[in-house]
Chains A and B, each alone.
Chain A
């Protein structure tokens, strides 16, 4: 049984608290930030705008270009490590083994650990003189520089540690959303288990997996605690540079960096939405 729908005004009123608050606190600052990056708009961003001066600074100054490179580097490497671990892990979780239920709960622990705590834990482990180096010392090896090193190994390790359960969860879900019947059909038509996986399950799970990758990437662009604590002092990723600009009250710079980061996020958000819209269609019962 369905009744008449309430009128637009009631709906607007219902939406008002949540959407309104978000619009005020999130939407407006964001928009004003975009304007501010061009030297327009209200408050501290106002210059003799419109101008691309801040953007010129960002893309002209080697520090910030290096920052962009570093941000992308950290993001890409973290995602790579994530995938290398998460996909096999997701596959393993699909099989039955002793203590699977318990494991299913335990591997998600990093989800509950806040970024700074991860940074701290990694520090104690990977620093020169940290736990790992002491263990290696026992067998006569010495630990290469892992924290505040030019390759950002500590940073990537910490990001991956935090992200892998999340990735795994998504990938397991994406695999599971593929109807078993399709795989049975593939097997019935002569495909071996491996080929059925490669040709049927994996491609159909790809939209979900891709979405997970994109989201992970975005989160890493905004991560500034982990690079700040574990990363080298040069080059710094855009996130840390942005924080420094904020502390210096260099607003146009803040907005410029912020807009660059945000643009990347929104582009990725759009692709995510297109991909998830497609997931619901093919996987039948996968959607709500």
Chain B
């Protein structure tokens, strides 16, 4: 974003600006995150201590020993992987149709595809939850997978149709002229060219699924525990367990941040904002 400044700045000014911004950054973002990290290693941290009096790895060892936590982690990974794979496969034909063909109800379909992102997850989930209760899908892993798809499909469809729309029609016609049937043209030309978007979209979808709470909670809890659901139980009601909560928070954050950086390399700002902001 190499925009020329509207107002010329001397290096002095921009240095102060930088100092101010970074200080704010450390305070506003750094401190809360530091809290979590500290709590995960804290061995007794009571007021008025500003940092824990002692540190321990005990809470981290809990991950392995606490079966519920280990299970929840594995379950979250399994669900996120499945949701990602399914989203990609299901979104592809829809995104293709939307990217390349004008059709009469296109605007309506666009809005419909966008709607699940706008309507709060809670509202969607209670509606789906009731349906799943009658279908005996409630409190099951497939149920959680399906309900998460509601949130990830619109994202994938939007990302994919943006990228599929950039493939020049000439390339497909050239492939057809060279003897490829429409299907082979898709596989040999469209798919390879979509890989960056599929990867980036896949990463974002994995993240979204891994950290999804609202809908997984309504449909799954208390029988199906994903990691975010488990975290909620550590925070809910009496006996809040900060130390365990901290550990789970970090587990939730670590892959998300890694993927965030990776996806950031592949995609542009605004596309990623759409992804993360679930626009």
Instruction: Judge if B67 is at the interface, Cβ distance under 8 Å.
Output: no
Q: Chain B at the A interface: mostly helix, strand, loop or mixed? A: helix
Residue from B89, B235, B273 within 8 A of A173 (CB atoms): B273
A97 touching B118 in the complex, CB below 8 Å, given contacts A19-B112, A43-B134: no
A112 touching B150 in the complex, CB below 8 Å, given contacts A131-B35, A269-B115: no
Do the beta carbons of A129 and B270 come within 8 Å of each other? no
CB contacts between A and B, total, < 8 Å: 282
Do the beta carbons of A112 and B35 come within 8 Å of each other? no
Report the nearest A residue to B146, measured CB to CB.
A25
Which residues of B sit under 8 angstroms from A8, Cβ to Cβ?
103
Instruction: Judge if A185 is at the interface, Cβ distance under 8 Å.
Output: no
Instruction: Judge if B60 is at the interface, Cβ distance under 8 Å.
Output: no
Report the nearest B residue to A114, measured CB to CB.
B211
Q: Mark A5-31, 1 if CB is under 8 A from B, else 0.
A: 110100101111111011101111110
Instruction: Judge if B167 is at the interface, Cβ distance under 8 Å.
Output: no
Give Cα A106 to B24, complex, Å: 12
Do the beta carbons of B90 and A97 come within 8 Å of each other? no
Query: Residues of A within 8 Å of B, CB-based: how many?
Result: 103
Query: Residues of B within 8 Å of A, CB-based: how many?
Result: 101
Give Cα A145 to B213, complex, Å: 27
Do the beta carbons of A222 and B121 come within 8 Å of each other? yes
17 contacts between A and B (CB under 8 A): A2-B169, A15-B93, A15-B97, A22-B113, A22-B116, A26-B115, A92-B17, A95-B14, A115-B213, A116-B235, A124-B32, A134-B50, A193-B7, A228-B236, A242-B123, A254-B130, A258-B123
Do the beta carbons of B18 and A98 come within 8 Å of each other? yes
Do the beta carbons of B111 and A269 come within 8 Å of each other? yes
Report the nearest B residue to A272, measured CB to CB.
B118
Do the beta carbons of B36 and A120 come within 8 Å of each other? yes
Instruction: Judge if B69 is at the interface, Cβ distance under 8 Å.
Output: no
Which residues of B sit under 8 angstroms from A275, Cβ to Cβ?
none
Instruction: Judge if B74 is at the interface, Cβ distance under 8 Å.
Output: no
